[in-house]
Amino acid sequence: QGNRAYNFNAGPSALPLAVLEKAQQELLDFRGTGMSVMELSHRGDVYEEVHNQAIARLKDLLSISDDYEVLFVQGGGSMQFSMVPMNFLQPGKTAAYIMTGAWSEKAFGEAKLFGEPYHAASSKDSNYRYIPKLEDIKFQESDAYVHLTSNNTIFGTQWREFPDTGSVPLIADMSSDILSKPIDVNQFAMIYAGAQKNLGPSGVTVVILRKDLLEKANTNIPTMLQYGIYAKNNSLYNTPPTFGIYLLGEVLNWVQETGGLAELTKRNEEKAKLIYDAIDASNGFYYGHAEPESRSLMNITFRVKDEALEKQFLAEAKKEGFVGLNGHRSVGGCRASAYNAVPYEACKALSQFMVQFQAKHS
Ligand code: PMP
């Protein structure tokens, strides 16, 4: 680890050390070209291979069939909030939004600019402590699509199983849990994810889109906001974020070398357990925000029993080298983000720190 911090940032967040070292090594002379990846033409063979390999690796890791396109878009998860309704919300149609946190709200807000979204279910009444039960979600006949947020970065909740929406396209924002566990891509018409948590650096957003959706997409919108343009041009209609895509490809290699999604799930479960166990064994000194059955393996949100002590906890943790433990500014408290690249040792150190802090102060 050397002088690497215990990085619990919510995003951008920790990247695998091996990936950073490889990028460092290749920085000045990428594969004998005498230049860095950033300096290559995006129309040349060398870059094209990087680009296509990243797509192929993602397809492989998530078992994505040829019925889907894998696209690279800029503008973050936030631009997907707009692109989804712009492309897929037709006049006279509704869109079902399942509200599980601040990012669902942002997505919903954008859809309102283009049509008639509604809340198919919401856990707002509990300050988003849980994921709604499948039987409590109510859809409408007129739905053009259903939208959900698979992992709620701010509140620390995560879906375990997804609703069956039949022939209505299910669209998921997986920005904060993509590649953390195996998923059945075929349950979704579209998945999108900003790269800066589990996939790579900020600046690249991955979109996995079932091809038949493109036939129904609106085309009376700006060129750069049409999924069809990205699909037709292999995400090379204009200059893509080449360095970010290169790093993303290297992160995918690392996932593969680590043992793939089965191994990562195991590690993520072990890592999260260390911290949840410290909360659960604390007799209320620490308490979680999420209800246990909705807890996220990626973002662990908790409070310390009184506010002064919580302040002290965060200050002492910072001094001990733990970075990024402050909860999101909209909810306060504490949050440990334990994405794929956060090592077991960092979570172990945090859980030990939590136990020691409690022993000193209770
Ligand atoms: N969706 C989720 C679940 C997120 O966690 C975030 C950012 N943390 C976003 C969307 C917004 O992403 P961006 O900042 O890339 O626009």
Determine which residue's CA is closest to atom 10 belonging to ligand 1. 77
Q: Is 194 in the pocket of ligand 1 (CB under 6 A)?
A: yes
176, 177, 180, best to mutate for ligand 1 pocket (most atoms within 8 Å of CB): 176
Q: Are residues 265 and 234 in the same domain?
A: no
Domain with 349, as residue range(s), is 260-361
Q: 296 in ligand 1 pocket by Cβ < 6 Å? A: no
Contact 268, 255 (CB under 8 A): no
Provide Rg for the chain, Cα atoms.
21
- The phi and psi torsions of 196 (rounded to 5 degrees) equal -75, 15
Q: In terms of domains, do 240 and 96 share one?
A: yes
pLDDT tens-digit series, residues 283-309: 999 999 999 999 999 999 999 999 999
- pLDDT above 80: residue 241: yes
CATH, residue 346: 3.90.1150.10
Residues 85 and 152 placed together within one structural domain of the fold: yes
Distance from the alpha carbon of residue 121 to the mean position of ligand 1, in angstroms:
21
**170 bridge partner residues:** 146
Give residue 91 CA to ligand 1 midpoint distance, Å: 27
Indicate whether 323 belongs to any domain.
yes
The residue from 219, 234, 257 where one domain ends is 257
Domain count, the chain: 2
- Stated as kind and residue range, the H or E segment containing 231 is helix 227-232
Say how far apart CA 134 and CA 143 lie, in whole Å.
17
In a domain, 217, yes or no: yes
Residue 284 and residue 177 share a domain: no
* Mean pLDDT confidence for 319-326: 97
Cα 290 to averaged position of ligand 1 atoms, centre (Å): 19
Which residues are annotated binding-site positions? 43, 77-78, 103, 153, 173, 196, 238-239
Q: Are residues 184 and 46 in the same domain?
A: yes
Establish if 202 belongs to a structural domain.
yes
Regarding whether 145 and 36 lie in a shared domain, the answer is yes
Look at residue 6 and tell me if it is in a domain: no
Query: 182, 316 in Cβ contact below 8 A?
Result: no
- pLDDT tens readout for residues 115-127: 999 999 999 999 9
CA dihedral (139, 140, 141, 142) positive or negative: negative
267 and 246 within one domain: no
User: Using CA atoms, how far apart are residues 185 and 70, in angstroms rounded to an integer?
Assistant: 12
Identify residue 290 by its one-letter amino acid code.
A
**pTM, rounded to two decimals:** 0.98
Identify whether residues 313 and 243 lie together within a single domain. no
Q: Which atom of ligand 1 is nearest to the CA of 106?
A: 10
d(CA 270, CA 266): 6
CB count within 10 Å of CB 108 equals: 20
Provide CB contacts within 8 A for 190, sequence distance 6+: 84, 169, 170, 171, 172, 207, 208, 209, 210, 213
Same domain for 146 and 68? yes
Strands 116-122 and 94-99, how do they pair?
A: parallel
Give domain status of residue 7, yes or no: no
pLDDT digits (tens, 9 = 90+) for 222-234: 999 999 999 999 9
- 271 and 355 share a domain? yes
Same domain, 334 and 245: no
Q: Is the peptide bond before 91 cis (omega within 30 degrees of 0)?
A: no
* Domain assignment present for 10: no
Let me know if 316 is exposed, middle or buried by CB neighbors in 10 A (0-12, 13-18, 19+): middle
CB distance 175 to ligand 1 below 6 Å? yes
Expressed in angstroms and rounded, the spacing between residue 74 Cα and the centre of ligand 1 is 12
Q: Which of the listed residues 83, 84, 148, 153 should we mutate to test ligand 1's pocket, taking the one with most ligand atoms within 8 A of CB? A: 153
From 257, 286, 311, the end of a domain falls on 257
243 and 315 together in one domain: no
Assign residue 44 the CATH number of its domain: 3.40.640.10
| Domain contains 1 | no
pLDDT surpassing 90 at residue 329: no
| CA of 202, closest atom in ligand 1 | 15
pLDDT digits over 137-155, tens only?
A: 999 999 999 999 999 999 9
The CB of 76 under 6 Å from ligand 1? The reply is yes
Q: Which residues pair with 143 in a beta bridge?
A: 94
Residue where a domain terminates, one of 257, 282, 314? 257
Position 1 pLDDT exceeds 70: no
Query: Which neighbouring-strand residues pair with 173?
Result: 149, 192
- Alpha carbon distance 174, 152 (integer Å): 9
Pocket probe for ligand 1: among 175, 196, 329, the residue whose CB has the most ligand atoms within 8 Å is 175
3: in domain: no
Count CA atoms within 13 Å of residue 166 on its CB side: 5
Is 0.85 exceeded by the ipTM? yes
